[in-house]
Amino acid sequence: MSVAAATPPHLAVRTVPLRDGRDLLDHLPAGAPLAWSHRGDGLVAWGEAARFDWPGEDSGLGAERFTAAAAWLAEAAAKTDVRDGVGLPGTGLVAFGGFTFDGRSAGSSLVIPRVIVGRRADRAWLTTVCDRPGTHPGEILDACTPARPIGPLAWTEGSIPAAAWGEAVTTAVRRIRAGELSKVVLARDVRARAEQDIDIRTLLRRLTRDYPGCYTFSIDGMVGATPELLVRREGGRIGSLVLAGTRARGATPQEDQRLAAELTTSAKDLEEHEYAIESLRAALAPLAEAVETPDRPRLLRLANVQHLASPARAELRPGVSTLDVVAALHPTAAVGGTPTGPAMELIRDLEAMDRGRYAGPVGWIDARGNGEWGIALRCAHISGARARLFAGCGIVAGSTAGAELAEADSKFQVMRQALVD
């Protein structure tokens, strides 16, 4: 097993209380900011003190990348001198990470930033990461310039035109009805190009404003607002939020209520949701005690869509790491399908693209194992002036190409609106 990651250096980490009262995003300089926020709480960061990169491994589902990342972070923690004056989840040594959807793809990474600003309820903190005790990273002194508008955009088709993607949906339904699998999630992409480099801070502000109930993230160029929490860990307790089954929001309160009633009584969507719950229970069974889920899903309404949602909770068995849980849960039935193996093979056959880190785990972890990991949904990969947007839909026996194209279009709207001034 080869890993394209430098041996982590010896680091000095210091966390102190912060009392400037600013919004998290107000601290970010331009460039390549890191962020994870939800309703005003979370972490923002910049600079790079150490980095783990996984080159891709052509074997199974690629759980090796999670194991290698965990080992790298443990080695980094063992070599780090930490002075933590706050002692909350997200203080001390922290890494931001994003993993590819498919283990065969390169691009999974962990980044230990130079500067981190965190907030949790009424407490805020500043963490600096240096190469030796008593020093401060230069990035902490950088002035924060105003975030720039995006400017005009040129839009193009992605890896597969809409009509061809609809044919892929029809093919998937035929194979599901033939008994090859129960569900598969198929994704699409579209592309945009601006006249200047896209300011990620502008996207973060718009996503935070428009989707306060989602987890807004920026990690290694992947930017979005995901409604789906894969796992939150504090101590030995974990929580997760399963989403599967979607409708658009209505243009009027009456239409919105009609769509909600249609979703909550739809045999197709309830079936899709049950697959996702069963997938989570099976994945957590070897790692956790007494997985708790509700008898029926609730309705989660976001600005553009509404989902069937089920929160889950469990107590981890001794010795289980956070990235063990992430590896076990990914890919969930909500982003891959069920059974997992046949669904992954069908995705490779029909999607005509490499998802990269779309629909892969994204989030942060501290040296004590605390962390929050979502699924990279409602997102775009930003590279200079270019943006690649993604959307995916769960396909089951009752799916139709027209309905799935409409659902994908509604999911694209999150990043389309964030990119348009």
Q: Active-site residue numbers? A: 183, 228
The Cα–Cα gap between 168 and 187 comes to 10
Q: Are 173 and 372 in contact (CB under 8 A)?
A: no
Q: Which two tokens stand for residue 183?
A: 């569900």
Those residues with Cβ within 8 angstroms of residue 322's Cβ, 6 or more apart along the chain or in another chain: 70, 231, 233, 365, 369, 370, 371, 373
What does the CA dihedral 404, 409, 411, 413 come to, rounded to 10 degrees?
-170
Q: What angle do CA 65, 70, 74 make, to 5 degrees?
A: 150
Those residues with Cβ within 8 angstroms of residue 239's Cβ, 6 or more apart along the chain or in another chain: 229, 231, 232, 311, 312, 313
What does the CA dihedral 406, 411, 417, 419 come to, rounded to 10 degrees?
-120
